[in-house]
Structure 1
Amino acid sequence: MKQVHLAAHFPGVNNTTVWADPRSRSQIDFASFQHLARTAERGKFDFFFLAEGLRLRELKGRIHDLDVVGRPEALTVLAALAAVTERLGLAATVNATFNEPYELARRLATLDHLSQGRAAWNVVTTSDAFTGENFRRGGYLDRSERYTRAEEFVRLSRALWDSWRPDAVLADQESGRFLRDGAIRPVRHRGRHFTVEGRFNVPRGPQGHPVIIQAGDSDEGREFAAATADVIFSRHGTLEEGRAFYADVKRRLPQYGRASYQLKIMPAATFALGDTDAEAAEQAAEIRRLQVGPQTALAFLEQIWGRDMSAYDPDGPLPEVEPVVEQDVSQGRVQVADRLAVAAKWRAIAQEKGLSIRELVIELTGRQSFVGSPTTVARQIEEFVQADAADGFILVPHLTPGGLDDFVAKVVPLLQERGAFRTDYEGATLREHLGLGAAA
């Protein structure tokens, strides 16, 4: 039986978080991060996952309402969490477009040492000029260059991590600690995006390499994951889509000399639990309404239509006007490639189901992946994994920081009873939790 892998995503600044719930707490208070991380570790999860935002998003020139608290720097938070957890992996999203390999490799290697082998890096890229304005270059990479730079970035980082021999430092009772001869190999790299020449100043970490996570879904992104990543953060939520994505990515691995177990596919997943399936369905519907309020519904509409929609009633029908293709009213968010096609699709769904603007946005963006009693949700998760639609899931609760509490208390024990999930950690490092084997 395949074992289910689980990770916890801190519910950050986005439309999945229910701010209005009285149980919702701070997004930047360390106590919130600590609560969720300790809950995940109590549930024997593989890792704790933090997203990243490098600029506050804007809508019509004003700060987007979902970004009002910002996002703390991930590696700093994870370094603090390393001191209050023992086995839980610690994954940071860090942008490969706006960082430099030597500096980031040092920070990740340091986290791996501080956590005794639990560090992970979610490699992301951007071609967003709006975000680029916050950085010295003041610009951005063309979309075609994003993965070229990212691939070179990761390759160079691994060369830096590998430059120290595992037995580089020798302890001697009389003379103290010293380096063996040839313990640190110089790194000489001249590539398209980076030139580095020198010796790395952090010893090889307990894992050798921090775990690499990647989230791209384009063909280029899938190829990058097959060649480079240890975990891919997929967005495919249905069984059929998940199986197709799983098969496509796994079939690419042999050309890079990799086996299936060396890349774990873990889609993001939300959930709603109730004592019965009916109660859970009611709760899921209420969560959707809270996630997509009137203002948020119009904001989603404006991203597609490219124009100010504040005059429209969110509880009324879709506008008859067509999108403005050449204009953006939001900045810092992923832009929609073909607005006219998306608008036509939205109209068809709204007409077929008789949906208002808000109801349509709820239908398209606010759905839970798993809804039901703990028994139903445990069965659904296991079915996905056994059907090769995923290796596990990165769970995104709707509450900060207690949204994972019920899942750990009620669903995890059922997965353990079914023999599909560990009852305790068998290793100390994140690589061991994920069953990846030693770093190459």
Structure 2
Amino acid sequence: MTAARRQMHLAAHFPGVNSTTVWADPRSRSQIDFSSFEHLARTAERGLFDFFFLAEGLRLREHKGLIHDLDVVGRPESITVLNALAAVTDRLGLAATVNTTFNEPYELARRLASLDHLSGGRAAWNVVTSSDAFTGENFRRGGYLDRADRYTRAAEFVRTARGLWDSWTPDGTPRRFAHHGRHFTVEGEFTVPRSPQGHPVVIQAGDSDEGREFAASTADVVFSRHTTPEAARAFYADVKARLARHGRTRDELTVMPGVSVVIGDTDAEAQEKAAEIRRQQVSPQNAILALELVWGRDLSSYDPDGPLPAVDPDPDADPDSGIVRGRVRIADPLAVAAKWRALSEAKGLSIRQTVIETAGRQSFIGTPAGVAAALDAYVRTEAADGFILVPHLTPGGLDDFVDRVVPLLQERGAFRTGYTGTTLRSHLGLAEPVWED
């Protein structure tokens, strides 16, 4: 008997304030207007995607003490937006990124449970952490959390939230709840009955050893950054292998790398479009910004069309008060600089060309048929269970993919031809959490 064909999962990420989004394109629209969120969400639902994914921004990033130009449009609060989208979608999952460092379990569990009820069981929570004092300045407690405690607090936060969600019986009876832990003490009664899918789906995106272990022990979906076949398969195998020691099976965690797609009528046309998108994403300004993020120095006097700096990165640069603030820190800037120099020297690249070559390259480029085959191969060879698409345009960046690639995936038997359930857990093939008395 032939084994059932593996079908992929698809999700859509609303582009945030970063150089992935090409704001200069005349087709680009507002990042604030509800119509932009609605267009992308409706497109994702038309394409039968599992969920729509919003990032979080708790502080506007700064460059040399000024708010970075790409951030001046602002960052709406994600659960508020998703509550509105629940009214204009029927099946699409709604995933909010919410930080465990600057929130409290009771309040957040209540907001997520409310979204799950309003949407009929389509809520998800992307769990993120922070030890960033710069972001913490926006909050009463500041940057108080030691970096080593990020995941211990996050794990206790998720356990507490799940305990609150379980404090109502399936037949609608509330029970008193009490949690006493290192980070939280919560006692009382939860105000929201058990949600339509039991618990909102939990997503996680950390790639460190701690992050992978947290995903294996806690998450339903892991958002991976690995998009080359070898790295993706290694990450997939590593995370899936960790599940058994937490009493979980391989099917209980869905691995979905974030990817970008560029399609054309021919491979040559797709490559040309991809190259132009990369030139738009990495403007001269963005090239110097990317360089300063690695070097930790003011490099504004350098020509983006000139060579890389001869000076090494500053190993003592303070990430909380440096040239660029509010971005993810570079773990080993000296190693990154050495890699960039080797590439630049080998290919004769300028600063801007080097950044184009190294930063956020498109994952899948080709004809619709070629892209469909490549995505299918990733899933069949266990490099991923599916993909979170990150378009370069807001809000129409998914239109071509849904119109031209999704039908080919369906023809291959690699993707659903209709929703078979109403909740996000049903889309992902996840069982509802078992309620225990």
Scaled by the length of structure 2, the TM-score of the pair is 0.97
Q: Which residue is equivalent to 1:404?
A: 398
1:242 and 2:242 equivalent?
Answer: no
Q: Which residue is equivalent to 1:392?
A: 386
- Choose which of 404, 417, 420 in structure 2 pairs with 1:426: 420
Write the distance in 1 (CA, Å) between the matches of 2:62 and 2:93.
Answer: 33
Write the distance in 1 (CA, Å) between the matches of 2:144 and 2:387.
Answer: 32
Letter in 2 for 1:423: T
1:360 and 2:318 equivalent?
Answer: no
Q: Which residue is equivalent to 2:185?
A: 195
1:212 and 2:202 equivalent?
Answer: yes
Q: Which residue is equivalent to 1:133?
A: 137
Q: CA deviation at 1:209?
A: 0.3
Write the distance in 1 (CA, Å) between the matches of 2:332 and 2:362.
Answer: 26
Secondary structure at the counterpart of residue 380 of structure 1: helix
Q: CA deviation at 1:185?
A: 1.9
Gaps of 5+ in 2: none
- Choose which of 21, 24, 30 in structure 2 pairs with 1:20: 24
Q: How does 1:277-426 map to 2 (within 5 A)?
A: 277-327=267-317, 328-426=322-420
Give a deviation string over 1:6-28, Cα, whole Å, max 9, x none. Answer: 00000111110001110000000
Write the distance in 2 (CA, Å) between the matches of 1:121 and 1:27.
Answer: 21
Q: CA deviation at 1:353?
A: 1.1
1:120 and 2:124 equivalent?
Answer: yes
Identity percentage of aligned residues: 73
Letter in 1 for 2:416: R
Deviates more, 1:50-59 or 1:132-141: 132-141
Letter in 1 for 2:390: V
Instruction: Answer whether contact 1:74 1:92 (CA < 8 A) is retained.
Output: yes
Secondary structure at the counterpart of residue 261 of structure 1: helix
Write the distance in 1 (CA, Å) between the matches of 2:35 and 2:234.
Answer: 40
Gaps of 5+ in 1: 169-182
Q: CA deviation at 1:431?
A: 0.1
Write the distance in 1 (CA, Å) between the matches of 2:356 and 2:329.
Answer: 19
Instruction: Answer whether contact 1:126 1:140 (CA < 8 A) is retained.
Output: no
Q: Which residue is equivalent to 2:52?
A: 48
Q: How does 1:53-132 map to 2 (within 5 A)?
A: 53-132=57-136
Deviates more, 1:71-80 or 1:304-313: 304-313
Instruction: Answer whether contact 1:316 1:357 (CA < 8 A) is retained.
Output: yes
Letter in 1 for 2:379: V
Give a deviation string over 1:345-379, Cα, whole Å, max 9, x none. Answer: 11111111111000000101141000000000000
Deviates more, 1:267-276 or 1:57-66: 57-66
Write the distance in 2 (CA, Å) between the matches of 1:233 and 1:268.
Answer: 7
Q: Which residue is equivalent to 1:259?
A: 249
Letter in 2 for 1:139: G
Instruction: Give the CA RMSD over aligned residues.
Output: 0.7
Letter in 2 for 1:154: V
Write the distance in 1 (CA, Å) between the matches of 2:221 and 2:346.
Answer: 38
Instruction: Answer whether contact 1:36 1:404 (CA < 8 A) is retained.
Output: yes
Secondary structure at the counterpart of residue 233 of structure 1: strand
Letter in 1 for 2:165: W
Give a deviation string over 1:153-183, Cα, whole Å, max 9, x none. Answer: 0000000000001112xxxxxxxxxxxxxx2
Q: Which residue is equivalent to 2:216?
A: 226
Write the distance in 2 (CA, Å) between the matches of 1:255 and 1:138.
Answer: 36
Write the distance in 1 (CA, Å) between the matches of 2:109 and 2:399.
Answer: 34
Letter in 1 for 2:21: T
Scaled by the length of structure 1, the TM-score of the pair is 0.96
Secondary structure at the counterpart of residue 224 of structure 2: coil
Instruction: Answer whether contact 1:314 1:356 (CA < 8 A) is retained.
Output: yes
Secondary structure at the counterpart of residue 22 of structure 1: coil
Letter in 1 for 2:296: G
Letter in 2 for 1:393: F
Write the distance in 1 (CA, Å) between the matches of 2:360 and 2:386.
Answer: 21
Q: CA deviation at 1:338?
A: 2.1
Write the distance in 2 (CA, Å) between the matches of 1:220 and 1:337.
Answer: 15
Deviates more, 1:250-259 or 1:24-33: 250-259
Letter in 2 for 1:334: V
Q: CA deviation at 1:125?
A: 0.2
Letter in 2 for 1:354: G
Write the distance in 1 (CA, Å) between the matches of 2:371 and 2:144.
Answer: 42
Q: CA deviation at 1:341?
A: 1.9
Q: Which residue is equivalent to 1:143?
A: 147
Q: CA deviation at 1:290?
A: 0.2
Write the distance in 2 (CA, Å) between the matches of 1:160 and 1:222.
Answer: 25
Write the distance in 2 (CA, Å) between the matches of 1:298 and 1:247.
Answer: 37
Instruction: Answer whether contact 1:272 1:370 (CA < 8 A) is retained.
Output: yes
